[in-house]
């Protein structure tokens, strides 16, 4: 008999690059995460909705509606929700600053941890020279990334038939390209420098779909990854401790489950509010 699913409680949760409006969004995993975590502060660190893709072709299913409802429900329940638009949902930047349905829309934010550290929170595309100065190349890169995800799906279909577990070919390819690795290093260095310039101890960002916690020249660099491949989040515990959570790996969620199976499982488990269990 399976053990009951427990709800985790955090002081703060940072997630980004959900890319709602695309078939690549792991909406069932994201719903599982949102329904099984509670927090005082929730930061949506950009690219929540993929406006680039939606302008080309419309894709929006019930799972995406449920994700929006889950976020709004957290705001109604008292969670402080801050939405920082990224380059894919940049249309919302024209409305900043404003508040709607209990969600604060900001260009960037400063978060103070329980142990007194100041963290700059921003999507990070402002420090991506391709996005800022060569948008055509950025769109081409977006197309290449989408193609890589399709190839990745077929590649893992073969691995599954051979009895091997899921493995991200597209993420691996990105890290094998020397220029891509250099770009990640430049991105991390630029974000850390901006945090230092603003007098912050660290920076939380997204954008490059590469989850990480590391020290960059004395500044804590925190990238919360994405919900297309890695399914990761940065969380702050109530004592100020910061952790990178790999939701799919920790919960042994299969990338080959039927659509919405995880969502249905978590829905049945959360039909009645279960007691909150603080994460260790």
Q: Which domain holds residue 184?
A: 8-278
Give, in order, the Cα–Cα distances in Å from 180 to each of 132, 175, 184, 199, 200. 17, 7, 6, 29, 27
Structure tokens at 120: 């700059």
pLDDT tens, N- to C-terminus, the chain (280 residues): 445 568 999 999 999 999 999 988 989 999 999 999 999 999 999 999 999 888 888 899 999 999 999 999 999 999 999 999 999 999 999 999 999 999 999 999 999 999 999 999 999 998 876 444 444 434 445 555 566 666 666 666 676 677 766 656 565 555 554 455 566 778 899 999 999 999 999 999 999 888 999 999 999 999 999 998 889 999 999 999 999 999 988 887 766 554 344 444 444 444 443 333 333 3
Give the H or E element holding residue 9: strand 7-15
The answer to whether position 104 is within a domain reads yes
Contacts of 52 (CB under 8 A, 6+ apart): 88, 139, 142
Q: How many domains is the chain built from?
A: 1
**Alpha-helix residue ranges (DSSP H) falling in the chain:** 27-35, 51-56, 62-76, 129-133, 135-161, 169-176, 178-197, 247-250, 261-269
Structure tokens at 142: 């977006």
Could you write out the three-class secondary structure of 110-164? EEECCCCCEEEECCCHHHCHHHHHCHHHHHHHHHHHHHHHHHHHHHHHHHHHCCC
C-alpha span between 20 and 194 (Å, rounded):
28
User: Would you say the pTM of this structure is higher than 0.85?
Assistant: no
The answer to whether position 3 is within a domain reads no
The answer to whether position 83 is within a domain reads yes
CATH number of the domain at 154, please. 3.60.21.10
The answer to whether position 160 is within a domain reads yes
The answer to whether position 2 is within a domain reads no
């Amino acid at each position: 008999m399976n053990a009951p699913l427990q709800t985790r409680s955090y002081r703060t949760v940072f997630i980004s690059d959900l890319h709602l409006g695309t078939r690549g969004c792991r909406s069932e995993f994201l719903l599982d995460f949102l329904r099984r975590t509670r927090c005082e502060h929730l930061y949506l660190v950009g690219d929540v909705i993929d406006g680039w893709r939606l302008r080309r072709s419309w894709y929006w299913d019930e799972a995406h509606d449920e994700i929006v409802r889950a976020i709004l429900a957290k705001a109604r329940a008292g969670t402080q929700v801050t939405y920082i638009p990224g380059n894919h949902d940049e249309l919302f930047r024209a409305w900043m600053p404003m508040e709607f349905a209990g969600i604060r829309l900001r260009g960037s934010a400063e978060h103070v941890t329980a142990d007194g550290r100041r963290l700059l929170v921003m999507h990070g595309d402002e420090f991506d020279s391709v996005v800022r100065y060569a948008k055509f190349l950025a769109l081409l890169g977006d197309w290449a990334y989408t193609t890589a995800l399709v190839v990745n799906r077929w590649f893992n279909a073969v691995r599954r038939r051979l009895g091997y577990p899921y493995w991200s070919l597209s993420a691996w390819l990105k890290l094998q390209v020397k220029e891509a690795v250099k770009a990640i290093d430049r991105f991390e260095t630029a974000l850390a420098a901006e945090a230092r310039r603003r007098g912050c101890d660290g920076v939380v960002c997204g954008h490059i779909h590469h989850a990480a916690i590391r020290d960059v020249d004395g500044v804590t660099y925190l990238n919360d990854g994405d919900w297309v491949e890695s399914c990761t989040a940065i969380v702050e515990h109530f004592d100020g401790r910061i952790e990178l959570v790999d939701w799919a790996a920790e919960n042994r969620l299969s990338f080959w489950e039927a659509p919405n199976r995880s969502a249905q499982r978590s829905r049945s488990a959360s039909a009645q509010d279960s007691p909150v269990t603080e994460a260790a």
